[in-house]
Amino acid sequence: SSSSSSSYTAKSWRQRLVWSRYWQENMFRAFLVFFGCFIAVAVPKFGPLMGVIGSLGCSSLQFVLPPIIYLRMPAFARPVTPSRLRTCALCFYIVVGLVTGLSGTIQSLNEAFTGDA
């Protein structure tokens, strides 16, 4: 009889942990939704703010960080050693990413502060 009560107690604790985790995850999701709504209501020009975040984030994630990571990768982890031409192409790719990210950021900030498109 005592073994059945201990297994019941263990089972109920597991169920409580599962339900506790379930509610924690749902509360976190609800918090994120409400926080996003708060930001959308609190920031008067939300579009340009998203433009700044997008131009900085997307250009760096697409153009800047992958070539830098590849060039900084140790030699034993690379599939091939990059040639001088490939290294120059990657550096050009980084410069293009920096220029486009900077121009998008400037355009978004200009739109945010002056209202011009």
Q: How far apart, in whole angstroms, are the C-alpha atoms of residue 97 and residue 78?
A: 23
Q: How confident is the model at residue 86 (pLDDT cuts 50, 70, 90)?
A: very high
Compute the mean pLDDT over every residue in the chain, rounded to the nearest whole number: 84
Q: How confident is the model at residue 8 (pLDDT cuts 50, 70, 90)?
A: low
Determine contact, residues 68/94, Cβ cutoff 8 Å.
yes
What does the pLDDT look like over 14-69, one tens digit per residue? 677 667 778 888 899 999 999 988 988 888 777 888 888 889 899 899 999 999 99
Does the pTM surpass 0.75? The reply is: no
| Closest listed residue to residue 64, CA positions, set 107, 28, 104 | 104
- Contacts of 45-52 with C-beta under 8 Å, sequence gap 24+, read 45/111, 45/112, 47/111, 48/108, 48/109, 48/111, 48/112, 49/108, 49/112, 51/104, 51/107, 51/108, 51/111, 51/112, 52/105, 52/108, 52/109, 52/112
- 3 pLDDT higher than 80: no
